[in-house]
A = this chain, B = another copy of it.
Amino acid sequence: MSLDPAAAVELGAVRVVGTGLLGASVGLGLSASGARVLLADVSPTALALARDLGAGTPDPSEGAGEPVGLVVVATPPDVTAAVVLEELKAHPDAVVTDVASVKAGVLEALRAAGADLTNYVGSHPMAGRERSGAVAARGDLFLGRPWVLSPVEGDDPAALATVRRLALALGAVPVVMPAAEHDEAVALVSHVPQVAASLVAARLRHAPDAAIALAGQGLRDVTRVAGSDPALWAQILAANAGPVGAVLTRLRDDLDRVLEALAALAGESPEAGSSAPGQAVGARGAVARVVADGNLGRERIPGKHGGVPARYAVVTVVIPDEPGALGRVFADIAAAGTNVEEVALEHAPGRAVGLLEVSVLPAAREHLQEALSAYGWHVVA
């Protein structure tokens, strides 16, 4: 895994339009590999910032001079189609791609405008951060992430090869997928989870402090992405309104079944030692089914390295809150000769302590526990 400078150089000069998080990251990555990157942005300030960060050189030609082999449109999603259209006209010999996170709408708009799409390949790098703008950009933002390529029927195959080279140059994993299929996929794995996280987090706005103080790791995980930028997400969700609406409608149907079951259960009279009366048995079943269905869906999500979730053994260590404690425990893990597959640090509300969960291959578990205990760590049995 690495940036691929050979692929970057083969690209020739690359024009990047839009120097926010994604555009600036493309520029940083390609520049680091020695490619010539020409930057454009409607905002002179944003352009200057991206240049100062090392993302490339402001395009001196603006459509009338230095030839480019590839144009990467990395503008906000609501103007992507219009900018792609301009770039296709201004650079008839270049391949044009965009990095908008929704693909079918861009394509539809380009077709509606009657554009010649021979040299256009839509794309979507599955990378992002909760922070936005060039200041958050990094040249290896795309390292190891899927980069979806959505070629158009009748494309020049060389155009697809060029955009694939872009993905490889930035260390990403190219995945070819038609635009409509991509949009349904991201609705499911990205856009709907975002909406769900926001809806759950929104419920906390006016909650009593004492309630919030009981929050644990589960709530933190469910709501982490709820920290995202509202303006950007309004654009993304608007652009993928059909597929997101379809998945959310099915989710609401499930939610309605849960609500119906909860209403039946709330009507039960409490009776010490009674088992549930007739109606509520079915209601309990409906609630259990949603959780069971969630188990099945959850098990399909790939773990490390994109494979099926590996069954690692977990070693849990108590970490005192003092300088270097985490460093020392990992030094001791290294000294024990154990390879760490995953780590998670769980903090305890109200207490100066963390629990570090170290995932290792099952065969290594016992050895690591013994070694860490011998080094004086409190290993949770």
Contacts and interface: CB of A to CB of B under 8 A. Distances in A.
B288 A223 contact: no
Interface in A202-254: 202-205, 207-208, 210-216, 218-231, 233-235, 237-238, 241-242, 244-245, 247-252, 254
Interface stretch (A61-69, A157-165, A300-308): A300-308
Given A201-B297, A248-B258, A331-B334, 17 more contacts: A79-B273, A109-B271, A109-B272, A115-B272, A138-B316, A138-B381, A188-B204, A189-B219, A200-B251, A221-B224, A231-B288, A234-B288, A241-B268, A245-B266, A324-B334, A326-B334, A327-B334
Interface centre among A148, A249, A270, A340 (most CB of B within 10 A): A270
A37 B342 CA distance: 36
Nearest to A185: B211
Contact of A194 (B218, B283, B324, B333): B218
Chain A interface extent, by class: 35 or more
Interface string A186-204: 1011101111111111111
A202 B293 contact: yes
Interface string A86-125: 0000000000000000000100111011010000000000
Complex copy number for this chain: 2
Nearest to A329: B330
A254 B297 CA distance: 24
A56 interface: no
Interface string A165-200: 000000101010100010011101110111111111
A287 interface: yes
A156 interface: no
Contact of A301 (B204, B272, B299): B204
A247 B339 contact: no
A145 interface: yes
Interface stretch (A4-12, A13-21, A44-52, A346-354): A346-354
Given A184-B211, A262-B248, A202 B82 contact: no
Contact of A207 (B143, B188, B343): B188
Contacts of A146: 213-214, 349-350
Contacts of A113: 272
21 contacts: A140-B378, A143-B351, A144-B350, A146-B213, A146-B349, A186-B214, A189-B204, A190-B218, A196-B197, A198-B291, A199-B258, A200-B251, A201-B293, A221-B222, A221-B225, A230-B292, A238-B284, A252-B256, A325-B339, A327-B333, A330-B334
A152 interface: no
Contact of A212 (B126, B189, B193): B189
B339 A330 contact: no
Contacts of A323: 337, 339
Most B CB within 10 A of own CB, among A208, A298, A316, A347:
A298
Contacts of A352: 1, 305
